[in-house]
Amino acid sequence: MSLLDALQKTSGVALDPQAFDEDAIPGLVDEIFTTALEQRASDVHFKPKEEEFEVYFRVDGAMIHHKTFEKIYHHPIIARIKIISGLKIDEHRLPQDGKSNFVLSEGNEEVDLRVSILPTNHGEKVVIRLLRKNPHMVTLRDLGMLPNILLKVEKHLKDTYGMILTVGPTGSGKSTSLFSMVSTFDAEEYNISTLEDPIEYKINNVTQSQINVDIGFDFPDGLRTLVRQDPDIIMVGEIRDQKTASLAIESALTGHLVFSTLHTNSAVGTIQRLLNMKIDRFLITDAVKLIISQRLARKLCNNCRQAQPVPKKYYELFKEGGIDPANAFIYEAKGCEACHNIGYSGRIGLFEVLEMSPAIEEMIISDASAAMIEKQAVNEGMILLRKDALFKVATGDISIQEALRMMS
Ligand SMILES: [Zn+2]
């Protein structure tokens, strides 16, 4: 039975064989995946509407419209996706989940596809996550840290014990930063072990373990075992609970360099979070060496961004950030061939890095307020995240809209 016959039979919709070329559908679907990967999309959305059928890509966190098809393509394209991901072609009323893979014809890169199908009032909607087998690993120097921040981080990577935390909301690039730091170590020289959920990047010679809570292998269990494996460097994917926090702090105080992430909004806020997790003040001040708070902003395409004088309404903001607005520019997204007409290309980190100091330790122990600690940190040279954002507006890395979004 041909695809067209199968479709007519299962969908109950009479399809005109002249209206589209059935044999072209597999090529069409392949082309969508190829283009999505070229544009570094993380997801492809196939969205049916009343009259049309649209394809969107998620690139650097933003939804980008790719193509609008005539509605007649809806069933054949969905059917093709179901075939390659082993799903029921005649099921239209229930959600389905499937897996597949896709090999890019050039470069032989294999990509895993996670397929999710949801019935909607306009027919089935498909969202596919594209998972590269060997994602490009960002180096510490590529994250977008200002030179003096980078120096501070590199200094603490030489510590023989203690804890380095990256913090921020979901999707702020915390694990990427963690990996870029851990991968600066020679894995032949140090025993590096990680506990992750999920394992995102694979690093040569590093012992990486996948947490599996369903079978009782959680972060605290993993940590207790890890410290018995004679580690030098430990990476804990995320500190989510009190037990993990206290074990991680303990490991940091017993001669290990511990890297982890926490879901908090600011560098100083992380201290309060650890206190809320019932970690002793003295242990925090002894163990924590560096807190890197971060966000991930869309980077303007440097091929087509356009400079403009700073609008008057942003003068105050620039002055607060220590930048003279009369002598600065802001840059706007335009779109060109190099950025697939999006105006943005890639992402850049915005950072706020708190370094533990004798004065800050003293303030934590005497229960000073977060505002007081932040003020002291700024006096000692900490650049607030909003100032880093503004600086990157002035250098043309990000748009003012993106900076304001990150500050809120
Ligand atoms: Zn461009």
Q: Which domains does the chain show, CATH number per domain?
A: 3-132 (3.30.450.90), 140-407 (3.40.50.300)
Ligand 1: centre distance to CA 383 (Å):
30
Q: Supply the DSSP string of 197-247, one letter for each residue.
A: SS--S--TT-EEEE-BGGGTB-HHHHHHHHGGG--SEEEES---SHHHHHH
pTM: 0.85
Of 125, 147, 142, the residue nearest 74 (C-alpha): 125
With b meaning 16 or more CB within 10 Å and e meaning fewer, what string describes 198-211?
Answer: eeebebeebebbeb
Q: CA 240, 246, 248, 253: dihedral to nearest 10 degrees? A: 160
At residue 102, the pLDDT reads 86
Q: Look at the block and give the residue holding tokens 């594209």.
A: 130
Task: Look up tokens 């597949």; give the residue.
Answer: 100
- For residue 346, the CA-to-ligand 1 centroid distance in Å is 11
Distance CA 107, CA 8 (A): 38
Residue 4: what pLDDT? 58
Gap from CA of 148 to ligand 1 centroid (Å): 29
Name which of 361, 358, 359 is nearest 271 in CA terms: 361
* Ion ligand 1: residue ranges with CB closer than 5 A: 301, 303-304, 336, 338-339
pLDDT of residue 110: 84
For position 378, what pLDDT does the model report? 97
Calpha distance 47→283 (Å, rounded): 52
Q: How far is the CA of 349 from the centre of ligand 1 (A)?
A: 20
10 Å Cβ neighbour count for 168? 27
CA of 284 to the centre of ligand 1 (A): 46
Q: What is the pLDDT of residue 381?
A: 95
Distance 177 CA to ligand 1 centre (A): 26
Task: Look at residue 1 in the predicted model and tell me its pLDDT.
Answer: 47
Which segments in the chain show pLDDT lower than 50? 1, 12
